[in-house]
Structure 1
Amino acid sequence: MTAFDRAERRAWAGRAGAYAAGFAKLCAYPVPRLLDAAGVGEGTGVLDVGTGSGAVAAAACGRGAAVTAVDTEPSMVALAAQTAPAADVRVAGLPGLPFADGEFDAVVGNFVLNHVGRPRAALAELRRVTRPGGRIAVTVWAAPAAAGQALLGRAVQAAGVTRPAHLPTLAPEDDFPRTEQGFAALLGGAGLGDVRCTALRWEHRTTPGEWWSGPAAGVATIGQLITSRPAAVVEEIRARFDALCSEFTGPDGVLVLPHAALLACGRA
C-alpha cells in the first residue's frame, strides 16, 4: 500500500454520511451506463469495488444480478448494506481482493481508480477476479476538470491555499492521462481486450449549501485540504466559493455544475 492509499483511507474514515449528503448524488450519474458496459443483467455474478454509498450495488441488484460489494471504509460498508440489502457487502478493497481467480462474471468500479495509489496494479487485480471473457467497467474523472468540477478548487486557489505536504499525489510513474485515449491505454496495458472508452458529460444540480457541506466535513481530497486550514482561512475559502457560485446559479438558486467523466470497459 502506498502513501497515497494510506492518505485516501484517512480522508474517508467515518465520512459516509457526509458523502451521501452531497458528492454521492453526483457520482451516481454514470451508474446505469457503467452496468450496461459490464453486461450486468439477470443472474450475473457482479463485484462492485469501492461501493461507497451502495448506489451501483443497489442498481445491479435491481437488474437481478448476484452482487458482492466491497469498500475499505467501514462506514461506507454500513451505508451500502442499507442501500443494497440484497447484496453481500463487506469490508475489503484494492490493492488486494479476498476472492478467487475468475470468481465473478463482471467487475465494476465507479470512480474507485481515483482513490488508489497504483491504478495499473488495481486493474490487474480486477482482471484476476473476473472470469475469462467476463467484462470490467470503470470510471474516473476526466482532466482537465469540467467547469463545475473545478469550482471548489478555484475557491481554494483564490484564497491562496496550496496543497499541504501531508496529502500525497500519485507517483509520476503510476499516473496516466485522464483522457479517452489515456484511460483506454491503461486498461489495455492491464491485459484487457475489446477496450472501449467514452466521455460522459452532464450537469449536476445542487445548492451552494449542499455542495459546500461535503468538503466542510472533510470529504475527499478537497475536503481534507479545506479542513486542514485554520478557521479564518476556511471562512475565506467559503467567501470565495460563494462569490464563484454566481457563475453557476440560476434564478431559482440552484447550482448547475457541468461535470465530465470517463467510462472505460474491457474483457478479461
Structure 2
Amino acid sequence: MSPADPATAFDTAERRMWAGRAEAYGSTFARLCAHPVPELLDTADVGAGTYVLDVGTGTGTAALAAQERGARVRAVDAEPAMAAAARGRGVAAEVAALPELPFADGEFDAVVGNFVLNHVGRPRTALAELRRVLRPGGRLALTLWSTGRQAGMELYGRALEAAGVIPPPGLPRLEAAEDFPRTAEGVAALLTEAGFTGAACAETRFEHRAGVEEWWTAAVSGLATIGLIVTAQDPGTVARIREEYGRIAAAEYTDGGELILEHGALLARATA
C-alpha cells in the first residue's frame, strides 16, 4: 500500500470480501438491508427534486427507492459488480470508494448511506468527505448495525459454536484509533466530531423473514464476516456447520418453515 493510498488494511479486506458477490448479496442480505430504507430516506427528507447521493449503494435498493420519490439520484459503490448491478436496475451508479468521492464540494442536497459506515476503515475521514459533498444545510442519514440482538448473526454464531469452529485469525477489524461505540450516543458523537451539526441517532428494530436455505446461502457464498469464516473451512467442517445450523434453525428460529429473525439498526442524522 503506497503512502498516498487512502485505503487501510481493513478497506482492502472488505473489498476482497465483497468482490464479485453482487448476485449472492442481491438474493440474500440485500433483502435484510432493505428494511430501514424508507426511514433512512425520510430522515434525510428525500423527496421530489432532492439531489441525493446514495453512498455504498450495493445493488441499488436505497437509490431506487429515492428515485421512486422523485429525487434526482447519483450512487457509488466500491465494488464494481455492485455498481454494475445497480446500473442494471436503472440507477446512475459508478465505482468509487470512501474516503474519496468524485463529486464537487457542496454538490448534493442529501447524502444517504445504508450500512456503509460499517465497511470503511477510516470512518471519521469518510464522514468528512460526506460533509464535503453536501451543500450547507444539506442532510446526512446513515444506518449501521447496532450492538443489540441480531438474530440472523446469532443463528450463525450458534451453529459455528455447536460445530466446534473457531474463527480464523486475520478477520477484518478496525484499528483501535478508528473504532467508535456502536451505540446511539457513540454514533451521534462521531458525527459531531466530523463537523456535522444537529447530530442524533436512535435504534430501529425490524423482523426479517427468510427461507432456511436462503439464509444459509449467504454464509456459504462468502458474504460478510460469517462468509469468511465458513468458506475458510474444509468441506467436512462446512457440512457439520450446515447440519448444526439446520437443527438450531428448526428448533428455535422458524415459523411455518420460514426463519423469523429480529435485527436492529442505528439510524443517524445530521446537517452539514
Aligning the two structures, in what range does the TM-score lie when normalised by the shorter sequence? Answer: over 0.9
2:149·2:262 contact (CA, 8 Å) conserved in 1? no
Residue equivalent to 2:254: 249
Provide the residue aligned with 1:77 in structure 2: 83
The one-letter code sitting in structure 1 at the alignment partner of 2:129 is E
Partner in structure 1 of residue 29 of structure 2: 23
Q: Deviations over 1:147-197 (max 9, x none)?
A: 333211222233232332232311111111111111111111111111121
Q: Return the letter of the residue paired with 2:11.
A: D
Kindly state the Cα deviation for residue 220 of structure 1 after the two structures are TM-superposed. 1.2
Q: Which residue of 1 aligns with 2:173?
A: 169
In structure 2, what is the Cα distance between the partners aligned to 1:147 and 1:227? 21
Are the aligned partners of 1:149 and 1:258 in contact in 2 as well (CA < 8 Å)?
A: no
Structure 2 residue matching 1:48: 3-state secondary structure: strand
Unpaired stretches in structure 2, ≥5 consecutive residues: 1-6
1:149 match: secondary structure:
helix
Aligned to 2:4: none
* 1:100-152 C-alpha deviation (Å, 9 max, x unpaired): 11111100100001111111111111111111100000000011443333211
Of 34, 43, 48, the residue aligned with 1:42 is 48
Alpha-carbon distance, 1:30 to partner: 0.6
User: Which secondary structure does the structure 2 equivalent of 1:166 belong to?
Assistant: coil
Matched ranges for 1:1-268 at <5 A: 1-83=7-89, 85=90, 87-245=91-249, 246-250=251-255, 252-268=256-272
| CA displacement at 1:90 relative to structure 2 | 0.6
For residues 72-105 of structure 1, the C-alpha deviation after alignment (integer angstroms, 9 at most, x for no partner) is 111111111122x1x3211112121111111111
Q: Distance in 2 between matches of 1:71 and 1:148?
A: 25
Return 182-191 or 130-139, whichever deviates more: 182-191
Contact 1:149 1:257 in 2 (8 A): no
Return the alpha-carbon distance in structure 1 between the equivalents of residues 107 and 164 of structure 2. 49
Provide closer, same or farther for how the CA distance between residues 214 and 148 of structure 1 changes in structure 2, counting only shifts above 3 A: closer
Q: TM-score, normalised by structure 1?
A: 0.96
CA distance in 2, matches of 1:38, 1:168: 30
What fraction of aligned residue pairs are identical, expressed as a percent?
57
Letter in 1 for 2:222: G
CA 117–228 in structure 1, closer or farther in 2 if over 3 Å, else same: same
Look up the SS of the partner of 2:229 in the other structure.
Answer: helix
Give, in whole Å, the separation in 1 of the partners of 2:60 and 2:239.
33
RMSD, aligned CA: 1.2
Question: Once the 2 structures are TM-superposed, how far is the Cα of residue 46 of structure 1 from its aligned partner?
Answer: 0.5
Cα distance in 1 for partners of 2:99, 2:241 equals 34
